[in-house]
Structure 1
Amino acid sequence: MSVSDARAALPAVELSARWRTLALLVPLLLLDGLVFLVPMGYLLRLSFAERTSGGAFAEGSWSLAGYEYVAETPLVHEIFAFTLGFAVLVTALAVAVGVTYAYAVWRAAGPWRTLLLAGAVCSLFTTIVVKLFAVVLVFSPRGVLNDVLTGVGPLAEPLLLVDNLAGAVIAQLYIVVPYAILTVYAVLTTLDDSLVEAARDLGADRPAVFREVVLPHARPGIAVAGIISFTWSVGAYPAPLLVGSGSEQTTAILVSQLLLTEFDWPAAAALAVITVAVVLTALLVGLWRLDDGGELLG
């Protein structure tokens, strides 16, 4: 084949490659549409339905009553404020624990690194109910921790670490901390050890190396860990419900009550839409603050 024939055939090859790429993307786009866009579209439509006392909602109706309920009900405001505060608290603690644990894994070697990683990974294979049951067994007034502290430790009375805010926070940390650990550790594995050694050779001690070399490099992982922890915690349902007290109500618990107990679907849908909007806003802000160099708030 001559050079001119090859050039003539090149556009056809490029066109064929584009079609192959499109053919690979179509199933993924359809899956996203069916799994995310269609349910979210129905949820959005339901949030604009008319509230009724005799049924879940008035079919075919259009109304802002659901959003008016969210805007005008003080209890909803209190629960929403608690949910945001709870999510921020859990996120801060999860990032702190995740960074510390990931740094320990990164500094460890041989079987110790394998053991530490296994502790984080195996937690992901455990169902949420089992994790929460473990929280009760370990942190309850007659649990393992209090038995040790009151038996051989300095405490005369057991600590109340379940059926309250502390229990809800601890239980939620059991859920989100493994993700924070793995995201930060994944970034730390890309750090060149020679940079750490160079900082040590220049006279920096371990805290200075961690602050000036390790932490800046780990910022993308810290950002992702924060986003994941905040997203999971804003939608927290089982941890506050099963390990917290009745006072630790989140928007997810309120949405469940509106749906299953009060059958007020428009109000539940409106509250769910607002919660999703908050999560997406936090996600977009986090991604926006990640600049091209991969630094957060740099």
Structure 2
Amino acid sequence: MSAIDRRSGIDALVERWRLIALLIPLLALDLGLFALPMGYLLRISFAGRTPGGAFVEGSWSLDGYRYVLDSALVHEILAFTLLFGVLVTVLSVAIGVVYAYGTRRASGWQRTLLLSGAVLSLFTTLVVKLFAVVLVFSPVGVLNDLLLWVSVLDDPLLLIDNLIGAVLAQLYIVVPYSILAVYAVLSTLEETVVEAALDLGADRPRVFREVILPHVRPGIAVGAVISFTWTVGAYAGPLLLGSGSERTIGVLVSELLLSRFDWPAAAALAVVTIAIVFAVLLAALLRLDSGGGALDA
């Protein structure tokens, strides 16, 4: 073996260990923040239930999963949570596409202002966002005061403490992510493609349907995934701005953990919800990708 070959082998070995050294902190982070908590959650879901404490130490049981399968209340709340997630996701993606398209059509300070509005909302805490929803949409809020002042309404609209309030609260949280996801893809569209479609006789609505929408499908997929997963796990929005009828899985898990101290049932419900969300997202993404590489950026 020549000196050059030995040197190349040493360099390859050093590069391999350098890569391993870079991966170790990431693997440790994944293990500490995701794998271990999920493993503990899964273990608690198989613990025995007891009225005298959170769970039976060292026990193995399917009582938590039996509760999930047998409880009509769980089935009702789970069905509402999934429908709530679909509703918010559809509205979030629709708003995100329109907002991103309007931002792209704008220029100069207008585009900067629109993008700043979407980005800055991400730096606002959840409590402040929900308080803003109350200030704007409550019966004595800004919107009702304005509509009553211009004589559009005789009585204020009930936009909180119901399903509308829960949806509005959740949209305040997830819409910025949909906007930025769609805009990030839309910004890669060459203006010459749009101009060519217009030159060939297509009007703006047709360009939007046949050029813009197909191009932003990866952004729509990302926005939909974020909106759906966040909404299925929603807790603060439905609890604070919904009524007793807008109970989500997150609210029920909190009750089981903090009020009933039924950790196995809460853990089993969380595990089942995670599995359902993964299955729904996988099916949706496969369906979207079946359109000929629609998710390719």
TM-score (structure 2 length as normaliser): 0.96
Paired positions, count: 295
Q: Distance in 2 between matches of 1:81 and 1:13?
A: 57
Deviation at 1:154, TM superposition (A): 1.7
Partner of 2:161: 163
Is the contact between residue 220 and residue 290 of structure 1 (CA under 8 Å) also seen in structure 2? no
Match of 2:133 among 128, 132, 135: 135
Q: 1:7 to 1:292 in 2, by over 3 A?
A: farther
Partner of 2:87: 89
Q: Distance in 1 between matches of 2:148 and 2:257?
A: 44
Match of 1:152 among 131, 146, 150: 150
Q: Distance in 2 between matches of 1:134 and 1:294?
A: 40
Q: Distance in 2 between matches of 1:64 and 1:177?
A: 39
How do 1:1-298 and structure 2 match up within 5 A? 4-288=2-286, 289-290=288-289, 294-296=293-295
Deviations 1:234-281 (A, max 9, x none): 000000000111111000000000000001000000001111112222
Q: Distance in 2 between matches of 1:248 and 1:63?
A: 31
Q: 1:109 to 1:240 in 2, by over 3 A?
A: same
Deviations 1:151-187 (A, max 9, x none): 1042111110000000000000000000000000000
The range that moved more, 149-158 or 191-200, is: 149-158
Deviation at 1:4, TM superposition (A): 4.4
Q: Which runs of 5+ in 1 are unaligned?
A: none
Q: 1:233 to 1:18 in 2, by over 3 A?
A: same
Is the contact between residue 90 and residue 172 of structure 1 (CA under 8 Å) also seen in structure 2? yes
Q: Distance in 2 between matches of 1:292 and 1:84?
A: 25
Q: Which runs of 5+ in 2 are unaligned?
A: none
- Give the counterpart letter for 1:35 in structure 2: L
Q: 2:294 is paired with a residue of what secondary structure? A: coil
- Give the counterpart letter for 1:206 in structure 2: R
Q: 2:182 is paired with a residue of what secondary structure? A: helix
Q: 2:181 is paired with a residue of what secondary structure? A: helix
Is the contact between residue 219 and residue 294 of structure 1 (CA under 8 Å) also seen in structure 2? no
